[in-house]
Amino acid sequence: MRDLGNGFELDDDPARIDVASVHRFLTEQAYWAIGRPYELQERLIREATRVVGVYRDGSQIGFARAVSDHNSFVYLADVYVDPAFRGHGLGIELVREMVENGPLSNRRWLLHTSDAHDLYRKFGFAEPDFKLMERPVQPPPGGNAGSGS
């Protein structure tokens, strides 16, 4: 746990994550997770390599998760700070805690994002200088793949 002052704190204790709060925000306000099933969100948190929550007076107001092979790369996902609490530098501290202060700080970090580019550039993220390929979500035969980002 890291105290940020003014009642704000960061914590990477997975047991403290309020899954319902994270799911509600992501499915209602995050363009990349609209419609994500609760069970999937619960699993994404449970199986993440690391999660960090932002809290104000004990209530969750922000979140980030990372997925890694523990050796060569880390994928940063689901980063948010509730709009009511933006403008206090919480997004900067959340990304700093995840990328610079955690056990995966010396790995190659990746993310997909359509916004907050200036925030991520502060931590060394940049557009790749090589060809990046990706395989979009493929629904299983007769099923729905959902959203895994």
DSSP the chain: -EEEETTEEEE--GGG--HHHHHHHHHHH-TTTTT--HHHHHHHHHT-SEEEEEEETTEEEEEEEEEE-SSSEEEEEEEEE-GGGTTSSHHHHHHHHHHTSSTTTTSEEE---SS-HHHHHTTT----SS--------PPTTS------
Q: Residue 101's pLDDT band (boundaries 50, 70, 90)? A: very high
Question: Residue 136: pLDDT above 60?
Answer: yes
Is there a domain that residue 112 lies in?
yes
Residue 69 lies in a domain: yes
Q: Note whether residue 136 is domain-resident.
A: no
pLDDT of residue 26 exceeding 80, the answer is: yes
User: Domain range spanning residue 46?
Assistant: 2-121
Global confidence as pTM: 0.84
The answer on pLDDT for 73 being more than 70 is yes
Q: Is residue 144 part of a domain?
A: no
pLDDT at position 143, please? 62
pLDDT score for 39: 97
pLDDT of residue 29: 93
Residue 138 lies in a domain: no
48 domain residue, yes or no: yes
Closest CA to 132 of 107, 110, 108: 110
Distance CA 121, CA 102 (A): 18
Q: Is residue 90 part of a domain?
A: yes
Give the residue-averaged pLDDT of 34-38: 95
CATH number of 55's domain: 3.40.630.30
For residues 25-52, give the mean pLDDT: 95
Percent of the chain exceeding pLDDT 90 equals 66
Report if residue 141 sits inside a domain: no
Give CA–CA dist 26/78, Å, rounded: 8
Q: What is the total count of domains within the chain?
A: 1
